[in-house]
A = this chain, B = another copy of it.
């Protein structure tokens, strides 16, 4: 029973269309009429229904944010960047976890489309999605992070992951490490990912051997880091350093080292990626590759707004830099 535009119109003695004009700041209304309508709006506490409006305008002032897992400390700051920017620009945000699971991600995206979101910001799983393309083909902006989609409707925001991975690996090499393992955080095609590439590049550029067995893939969570590092160090005791896809895996690796009586960094150096909060508080403090997560989130939302306000326009990919942060663990 919230008041409708009709209520406002009646009270102000005008047509609903005129009331609508006032609400939407469309001109063509005399000052006096506008004042009357505005008074009615105030008195009734009228607020336009986004549903009804969306039904006719095809704009709902909502967007979807699909990320891997909000519990991964990488994401809250990203989300915060998106959310803050969205609040300022008048958008509300559906937040969803995909868990890097394609089926779930697909369901989620459909569900967002059902709600007629204006656009989607996505940290995608690896595989290309038919649905995404068809969503984008409807003229709905998609901002896609860290995955090189080739579609004019999909805008890309890319972290310099390969650079970061390369720097990290080279840092290990400079420290004298020659057998360097990697904990990958992606399920599927290991060697395709940028961070794996950077790692391999660094090895190659420095004439070091690479070994497929030294890369273990799994979900990017702490417990997996522990398991995988445990396995890695048991099967390949010669390894003296580990580069991890993200900080959680690195933290897990550090734990595995503790389990195995290996000291970090003396017996096994560990380096992560993301520079999550508290990375400088854990023991040993974590050497990692910093990403400005908040800025990343803001950037995504900003790009989303640009796409929304100028359709047809093609936006070039944005790259965002990373920075090696050397602490105790390597």
Residues of A within 8 A of B (CB): 1-2, 47-52, 54-55, 60-62, 69-71, 73, 75-77, 79-80, 83-84, 87, 92-97, 104, 108, 110-116, 138, 251, 277-278, 281-283
Closest to A52 in B: B55
Are A70 and B70 in contact, with the CB atoms below 8 A? yes
Expressed in whole angstroms, the minimum distance between the Cβ of A111 and any Cβ of chain B is 6
Expressed in whole angstroms, the minimum distance between the Cβ of A194 and any Cβ of chain B is 25
Closest to A112 in B: B92
CA distance A51 to B94 in the complex (A): 15
**CB neighbours of A104 from chain B (8 A):** 87
A83 contacts which of B60, B97, B251 (Cβ < 8 Å)? B97
Protomer copies? 2
Q: Given A51-B115, A94-B93, check contact A2 B138 (CB 8 Å).
A: yes
**CB neighbours of A110 from chain B (8 A):** 47
**CB neighbours of A77 from chain B (8 A):** 71
A62 contacts which of B70, B87, B108, B115 (Cβ < 8 Å)? B115
Are A111 and B96 in contact, with the CB atoms below 8 A? no
A51 contacts which of B73, B92, B116 (Cβ < 8 Å)? B116
17 example contacts (A-B, Cβ-Cβ < 8 A) are as follows A2-B113, A2-B138, A50-B115, A51-B115, A61-B115, A69-B80, A70-B80, A71-B77, A71-B80, A73-B76, A79-B95, A93-B96, A251-B278, A278-B278, A278-B282, A281-B282, A282-B283
Are A93 and B92 in contact, with the CB atoms below 8 A? no
Are B96 and A92 in contact, with the CB atoms below 8 A? yes
Are B96 and A94 in contact, with the CB atoms below 8 A? no
Query: Chain A binding site: helix, strand, loop or mixed by DSSP?
Result: mixed
* The 7 nearest A-B residue pairs measured at CB: A283-B283, A95-B95, A281-B282, A70-B76, A278-B278, A92-B94, A71-B76
A97 contacts which of B51, B73, B80 (Cβ < 8 Å)? B80
**CB neighbours of A48 from chain B (8 A):** 114
CA distance A54 to B51 in the complex (A): 7
Are A114 and B60 in contact, with the CB atoms below 8 A? no
Expressed in whole angstroms, the minimum distance between the Cβ of A260 and any Cβ of chain B is 17
Expressed in whole angstroms, the minimum distance between the Cβ of A65 and any Cβ of chain B is 8
Are A96 and B71 in contact, with the CB atoms below 8 A? no
Residue from A69, A138, A251, A282 with most neighbouring chain B CB atoms (10 Å): A282
CA distance A112 to B94 in the complex (A): 11
**CB neighbours of A83 from chain B (8 A):** 70, 95-97
Given contacts A51-B115, A87-B108, A281-B283, 12 further A-B contacts (CB under 8 A): A49-B55, A51-B51, A51-B116, A52-B55, A60-B115, A73-B76, A79-B95, A83-B97, A87-B96, A92-B96, A282-B282, A283-B283
Expressed in whole angstroms, the minimum distance between the Cβ of A114 and any Cβ of chain B is 5
**CB neighbours of A55 from chain B (8 A):** 49, 51-52, 55
Closest to A56 in B: B51
CA distance A50 to B54 in the complex (A): 11
Expressed in whole angstroms, the minimum distance between the Cβ of A294 and any Cβ of chain B is 8
CA distance A251 to B48 in the complex (A): 45
CA distance A49 to B56 in the complex (A): 12
**CB neighbours of A84 from chain B (8 A):** 97
